[in-house]
Amino acid sequence: MIRAFLVWLQTRLGKGPGPDDASWSEALLGSLNFWALLEGTHLLLLMLFVGCILAVDLRLMGVLYRRTPVSVVSRRLLPLTVAGLVLMLLTGSALFFAKPVAYYHNVWFRAKLVLLAAALLNIAVFHIRIQRRQPDWDEDPSPPLAARASAMISLTIWVLMIVMGRFIAYNWYDCGKPQPDLINTLQECAASEPGAVRLTVAAGGRRP
């Protein structure tokens, strides 16, 4: 069902009456200048957002700004963090709209979505549970273990998300190529147009 919707989104939405008319998704992908501008803007917003997160997390870990209360660091960076996140999600959604089916069958993109869910869960746990006692340790050079652990988890997740996003550009695990069964399953290659091709190994241990 999800794939059928994405196929419609990529090939039918906004398509004109002529057989050669492009859909909105195809027009976006074929617009070289706008696509490059959109991708560059997404990367710049990612740098802004992750830079703000990095500063806050390093303060929570007691590495930077140890004499500055955590609340001051967070308050000053919060507007930039929220703006960066919202605009980054908007530009990322536009990039996804240009190639929804390809991204749907991309193992790196799926891993990135899992990491995004983990990041949002970590943020929720921090604000609901850990931050409730922030007045008690707001000015401490080194916050309590729970706050430091949350910051470390946050940094790890966002670094991995950047790595996963970078790997999306490579075709190492494209459907239609010989892949391990696990990869074919994770990105649902059997439902893709190229299909799932199993990676087989000859008796001598060498790939045919």
pLDDT tens-digit profile of 167-194? 998 888 999 999 899 999 999 999 989 8
For the cut 60, the answer to whether the pLDDT of residue 201 exceeds it is: no
| Mean per-residue pLDDT over the chain, rounded | 89
For the cut 80, the answer to whether the pLDDT of residue 206 exceeds it is: no
Q: Are residues 102 and 137 in the same domain?
A: yes
Q: Are residues 185 and 87 in the same domain?
A: no
Q: Are residues 110 and 195 in the same domain?
A: no
For the cut 80, the answer to whether the pLDDT of residue 166 exceeds it is: yes
Q: Are residues 165 and 189 in the same domain?
A: no
For the cut 70, the answer to whether the pLDDT of residue 203 exceeds it is: no
Q: pLDDT higher for 201 or 66?
A: 66
Q: Are residues 20 and 76 in the same domain?
A: yes
Q: Are residues 192 and 150 in the same domain?
A: no
Range of the domain at 51: 2-170
Q: Are residues 185 and 129 in the same domain?
A: no
Q: Are residues 128 and 203 in the same domain?
A: no
Q: Are residues 186 and 151 in the same domain?
A: no
Tally the domains of the chain.
Answer: 2
For the cut 80, the answer to whether the pLDDT of residue 108 exceeds it is: yes
Q: Name the token pair of 109.
A: 């993109």
For the cut 70, the answer to whether the pLDDT of residue 80 exceeds it is: yes
Q: Are residues 30 and 119 in the same domain?
A: yes
Q: Are residues 120 and 183 in the same domain?
A: no
Share of the chain above pLDDT 70, in %: 96
> Which of 19-28, 78-87, 144-153 has the weakest average pLDDT?
19-28
Half-sphere exposure of 25 toward its Cβ, with a 13 Å CA cutoff? 19
CB atoms within 10 A of CB 22: 16
Q: Are residues 130 and 102 in the same domain?
A: yes
